[in-house]
Structure formats: C-alpha cells, structure tokens
Structure 1
Amino acid sequence: MSLIFFLHCKEKNTDYYHIISVNDTKLSEPKAGEWRETRKEKFQTYESFQKTKKIIPSNNQNTIYLLPIGDFDSLESKEIKQNSIYLEKYFQLKIKILKPISDNLIPKKARRIIDNHEQLLAGYILDHLLLTNKPKDAVVLMAITQKDLYPKPEWNYVFGLASYQKGIGVTSMYRFHDGNLNDSNFNKSLLRLNKISSHEIGHMFGLNHCLNAVCVMNGTNSLPETDKHYARLCSLCQKKLNSSLKYDNQKRLSELNQYFKNNNFLFEAKLTQKDLEILK
C-alpha cells in the first residue's frame, strides 16, 4: 500500500464522521425529571475519550457473553436471541449466549418483594455470579434477568448495573414489557433491550453519556426517555467506538440496517441508511 493511498483512506475515514454529523439530531432542552435536567455531566471530547480507561478487545479476549438468569419462556428466549444478533452487528464482535441459570442461586438477603413483584439485588449478581464466572475469552459478560432489579434498598428499581472496567453488567427485561411479554409488545421490548444493553456495553468500551446529539449513549431516567433516544450512535460516538474496536463502518451499518428492517424497526433502518449513503 502506498503512503499516498494510506493517507487518502485515513483522510476519507476521518471526513466520514464529520460529514455524517449532518445526520445528528440536536439535543432539546431537557424536561423536568429527565437525565440531563437532574445531572450535570462533562462533555466527553474525542481527545478525552482516548485518555479514558476502557476495555479494548484483544486476540485472547474478543467475545461478548450473555448470561440469562431466570426461567425464560420461548418468547423471552427469542428476545434474548434477537438481542444477541443485534449486539454482534452493533459491536462487530462475537456474541455467545451461555446456558441460562436459575435465579434461585441468589440468596434471600439479595432479593425483596416490592409492588407485588420480586426484585433481585443487581450488585450481588455482579459480584457473586459474574465476576467469578467470567469466561477467559470474554471481553464482556452481560447478564439478562427475567425479574426486576434494584441497586440498593432506597431505590425503587434500576434498568441495569455494570462494573465498566471489569467488563461485567446486568440488565433486566422486566420493565421493558411491564412483566408480561407478548406478541403485541415484543418489538417495543426488544428495541428497549437493544438500546439499554448496547448503552451499558458502550460504557465498558469507554463511552460516557453523550451530550453531543440524540444518541443511544444519552443518559436516561425512565422508559419514556429511553424511547425518545435513538438506537443510533451519533457521529462523535461512532468515531470514538471505532477508534477502539477497529471495525469496518460500511459492514457494520449494512448489517445493522438489515437487522432493523428484519425486525420492522423502520425509523432505525432509515437512520442507518442515511449514514450508509454518505459512507458509500
């Protein structure tokens, strides 16, 4: 490869992220109770991202594992499978689903009843079920629970919890479908799981909450707020993630576009198509 050709490719790749910024949607003023209204966070520039401590896949650790915890029916298992397909395309890494384990492994002291349903202590899952059982080739181990989660006694619930530098996390499907997954709410629940799981794993790869544009890495306080966020990474977050994972942009976007079409996520497919058209 000639130096001129290399520089041309590098310049083209850099320009791509600048050019697709036209596809970014500007953040609106946060409403009362939303994440940006309740928390003041520092903007993560590309330069500061490079200095952030983060997990980077290696030849020996390049697989994302999903561990289902609970007793899942066929529709719930289908959602986990579809989410694994999504994450594989999103991060361009191998995904493996481990054999489900029972939540009976979680002791009474790490569970409670609230609002007539049972919750599991998220921190116990991280420290006692994931940290000691992370496969050697895992860059990330993400548990998915059937039951609701809470992070500490004074909190009502949490969508998920993670130890970013250790590469472990847990998220619950429970609130994505109000504890009753069926054919009519399957797609809404799946898209929420796609967003939350890619968001949490994105943190493990060094991405802070996005303050640049509407983005899957925006912070969230509620499901309505999550629903407002795009599954798309904004141009800046795409640039950050690719600098660490080194994937082929066109391949990633093409595969995501097909996934969204296959699952009838037409708005998300439209967003990836717009990025693809610029890349091509």
Structure 2
Amino acid sequence: MSLGKYNFIFFYLITLLLFFSCHKKEKTYIETIALNDVQLPKAKPGDWRYSRDEKFQTFDDFQKLKKIKPEPGKNTIYLQPIGEFNELQKKEIELTREYLSKYFQLQTKVLPVLSNTIFPKTARRIFKDGQEQILAGYVLDSILVKRKPKDAVVFMGITEKDLYPRPEWNYVFGIASYQDGVGVTSMYRFANGGLSDSNFNESLERLIKVSSHEIGHMFGLNHCLNANCVMNGTNTLPETDFHFARACSLCQQKLNSSIQYDPKKRLLDLKHFFEKQHLNSELSRAELDLQLLK
C-alpha cells in the first residue's frame, strides 16, 4: 500500500473521530442532575419505610397511571386557608403560595380565609395533649371537594388546627385525595408550639415540603424510594427535616412529563426563592444542580 493511501486512511479516521466527538449525544437535564441525587440510608425503626413495603414506582409505572394533569382552563393551584391566622402565619402561607408557583411552574392563588366554625362537632376531637384536632377526611370531602374552583387543577387546604386521619391515629401532617385533586396540610406542628421570628424559616421549610409532597401525590407521584427526596414518606418532624425539599431526578422526570415546564427556569426560580428566604441547605442543592448544567 502506498504512503498516500496510508495518509488517506489516517485522515479519514481522524475525520470520523472528530465527527463523533462533536456529535456525541448530550445528556438530558434529568440525566445531568441525577448525579446530585443522594442515596437513601437504610431505614431504621420509627422511619416511614421501616414498617411499610411500598412498591418502587418507575417512570413507566407513572406514565401508565390515569392521573390529574393541567389542561387549558383548569391549570391553577388554589390554597384555602381555614382557621384563625396571625400575621406571621399569613406571611408563611403567602410564601408557600410563592414557592408552589415556582416548584410546579403553575399559577398559584390563595383564597379568602374560612373560619373554623365551618367544622361541625362531629369533625372535632380533643387530643390527649389538650389541643383540638380536625378530622382530615372531613376537610377533603365536605369542604374542599364542594368548593373546588372550576379552573383549579388541584386544591390545597391549610389549617392552623391539628389534623387526624382516623380515630386510631394520633395526627397527620397532611393527606390528599388523588382522584379529586384536593388535599390538606396543618401548620400546627411545624413551629413546635408557636410561630415566631426565630423559628419561622424552620416552620416554612416544613410547610413547603409537606404542601409540595401532597400536591405531588395529587399529580400521581407515589412515595419516592429512589433517593433523598421531598416525595419520601415521613412519620415524624425529624424525618421530614431529614428529607430534602428537592425532588430527585426521577420524581422531576415524572412531574415534567405531566407539567410541560422549562426545567432550568424552574431550577433558577427555586434557587432565587431559597436565596431570598435564606433556606441555605436547599439553596446549596439548587446551586449544585446548576453547576452540573454549566
């Protein structure tokens, strides 16, 4: 073979190499941020996962579900405060509205407050600790379902009263009806006895986690077994605090398949919220995701 032919083959191979290096398939947003997912530790006694045998929900499982999705004319998240709220609590609800609008990339509105007088005696009980509790199922079925706005994709109640799901349970942070697209969460336990300037951020972080978790359920997401994630099940406040407000890459993939938003815009919006509210741990996680995308 002549030297000229060797040169031709050499340059042909170099050209192919350059072509494939330039046309290498870029990672998707989900594939990129998956590098920042944090593995769940082994469940210990008292943890949600320890006593429950939940099935891992794959992306294909999620896709096959009949679930609520935003659609034209029915694409707004509504929050319904129920109770007697002081100024700090009202501020917390407004910030939760702002957060949810960024988290789900959907218009989110707060409706006028409903009085606690809407709860009949049959939906109330006095707990062993002395506080009044409200039957969570009553809030869903007898209040929210009947008052859900026509343009609401989901409808979330927020109460300052403690909630219980059934007589044998002590309390619940929040519950949701996935078919009806309604849910409720209680602020009662998030401030450890009383909301103040000193514990405001701790309470706010708990409220945005539980609210986005319950609305995530309404959009079809099961409890997450993939990584540390806002969709992890929790039994206690320490467990809620341990789990991130960040949705893992798999849960974001599911959510984005139903709600067609720009993932990078969502991430930047959340970063700015965490920055403004000095939620530094979540801010660091958002910044790590943004670093990967660069």
Confirm or deny a common fold (TM above 0.5).
yes
Could you tell me how far 1:179 is from its partner in structure 2? 3.3
What is the CA distance between 1:111 and its match in structure 2? 0.2
Q: Please give the per-residue CA displacement for 1:240-267, whole angstroms capped at 9, x wherever unaligned.
A: 1111101001110001000001111111
Match of 2:61 in 1: 48
- Residues 227-266 of structure 1 correspond to what in structure 2 (within 5 A)? 227-266=241-280
Q: Percent identity?
A: 61
Larger radius of gyration: 2
Pairing of 1:69-84 with structure 2 (within 5 A):
69-84=82-97
Are 2:37 and 1:24 aligned? yes
Q: How does 1:49-68 map to 2 (within 5 A)?
A: 49-68=62-81
- 1:202-229 deviation per Cα after TM superposition (whole angstroms, max 9, x unaligned): 0111111111100000011111000000
Q: Which among 164, 170, 173 is matched to residue 156 of structure 1? A: 170
TM-score (norm 2): 0.90
After superposing on structure 2, the runs of 4+ consecutive aligned residues of structure 1 that deviate more than 4 Å are 11-14
Select which of 159, 169, 179 maps to 2:183. Answer: 169
Match of 1:146 among 148, 160, 172: 160
1:106 to 119, 136, 146: 119
SS in 2 for 1:174: coil
Q: In structure 2, the residue corresponding to 1:166 is in which secondary structure?
A: coil
Give the residue type in structure 2 aligned to 1:259. F
- Following TM superposition, by how much is the alpha carbon of 1:53 offset from its aligned partner in structure 2, in angstroms? 2.1
Question: What is the letter of the counterpart of residue 90 of structure 2?
Answer: S
Distance 1:105 1:238 in 2: 37
Note if 1:199 corresponds to 2:213: yes
In the alignment, is residue 87 of structure 1 matched against residue 104 of structure 2? no
Q: TM-score, normalised by structure 1?
A: 0.94
Q: 3-state DSSP class of the match of 1:175?
A: coil
Task: State the match for 1:3 in structure 2.
Answer: none
1:14 Cα shift?
A: 6.3
Residue equivalent to 1:6: none
**CA-CA distance at 1:12 after TM superposition:** 7.2
SS of 1:161's equivalent in the other structure is strand
Q: In the superposition, relative to structure 1, how do residues 258 and 84 fare at CA in structure 2: closer, same or farther (>3 Å)? A: same
Name the amino acid aligned to 1:94: Q
CA contact (8 A) 1:69 1:101 kept: yes
The answer on whether the counterparts of 2:78 and 2:111 sit within 8 Å (CA) in structure 1 is yes
How many residues are paired up?
A: 270
Q: Deviations over 1:171-201 (max 9, x none)?
A: 0000001231111111000000000000000
> Runs of 5+ in structure 1 lacking a partner?
1-10
| Distance change (3 Å), C-alpha of 1:152 and 1:211 | same
Distance in 1, Cα, partners of 2:237 & 2:259: 29
CA distance in 1, matches of 2:118, 2:247: 36
**1:122 maps onto 2:136 in alignment:** yes
**What residue identity is the alignment partner of 2:29?**
Y
